[in-house]
Amino acid sequence: MKADWDAARYDRVSDPQFEWGRRVVARLDPQPGERVLDLGCGTGRVTAEIATAVRGGLVVGFDRSSAMLAVARRTANASTASTWWVRGDGVRLPFASKFDAVFTTATLHWIADHAAVFAGIFDALRPGGRLVGQCGGGANLDRLYRRAAALMRTEPFAPWFSAWRNPWHFALPEPTHALLHRSGFVDVHASLESAPVTFDDGDAYAEFISCVCVRHHLERMPLELQAAFASALTEAASKDTPPYTLDYWRLNIDARRPSA
């Protein structure tokens, strides 16, 4: 990825990610006094939910985006649990046996090397600690990305995509289950969940996909082509049933580091 996120814009449009995150927090069931790592904390909206629950504990919001962390720091609620913000790479976590839980949502699909990230999460957990997460998986956004791929082969867009490589990795439950076991986890569960998102109109759809789903496509092109690319995708989505719907699939992950 060449450019950082437009974090303020993401914070404004990312209600779907926030609502998914809140449901994963319910699975996590954070307890007072716990130490929790939020891997891929983004702008900290879900991190704040965890911090409220672990009063007397500690939450570390970890992200590789400096723009996301800047928004998280500005909006953090000082009245909740102690919260620290750390910038780093998810495949090189700088923690050893520090956390009762690692929480992650809408992040792992942006990391290609899941074996490395699971190994780092295992090391970051205390014995008996748990991993609770969710990310894009399986056929996530397949309709949108098939349309984008077709557009990328046409003029005037094609010259900007000669060296394109997909920046996402939508894993399946079976290989995820195997990787977690290989990393040393027990009580492993991985499953796919359909989570379509429908927007009120074309403007909301275009704003969301431009910020979240196809931002890596758009950043390669001049501004006038960015608008045309997003507009073509939005026009195609207007003919779907229901219109302006993204075919999201979420990969739910639960695992535990064995007790000492």
Which tokens is 137 given? 């998986």
Question: Stretch 76-100: mean pLDDT, rounded?
Answer: 88
Confidence of residue 135 (pLDDT cuts 50, 70, 90): very high
Question: Stretch 202-220: mean pLDDT, rounded?
Answer: 97
Of 62, 58, 53, 1, whose CA–CA distance to 32 is shortest? 53
Confidence of residue 75 (pLDDT cuts 50, 70, 90): confident
Per CATH, the architecture of 7-139+167-196+248-256 is what? 3-Layer(aba) Sandwich (3.40)
Distance CA 44, CA 71 (A): 8
Question: Stretch 230-236: mean pLDDT, rounded?
Answer: 98
The residue ranges of every structural domain in the chain are 7-139+167-196+248-256
Which tokens is 232 given? 């073509």
CB of 91 within 8 A of CB of 118? no
Percent of the chain residues past pLDDT 70, beyond the cut: 98
The per-residue pLDDT for 1 is: 45
Q: How many residues does the chain have?
A: 260
The per-residue pLDDT for 3 is: 78
∠ CA 186-26-30, nearest 5°, is 70
pLDDT at 80 over 80: no
The per-residue pLDDT for 260 is: 75
pLDDT in tens, 2-45: 579 999 999 999 999 999 999 999 999 999 999 999 999 999 99
Confidence of residue 173 (pLDDT cuts 50, 70, 90): very high
- Token pair 């608008």: residue: 227
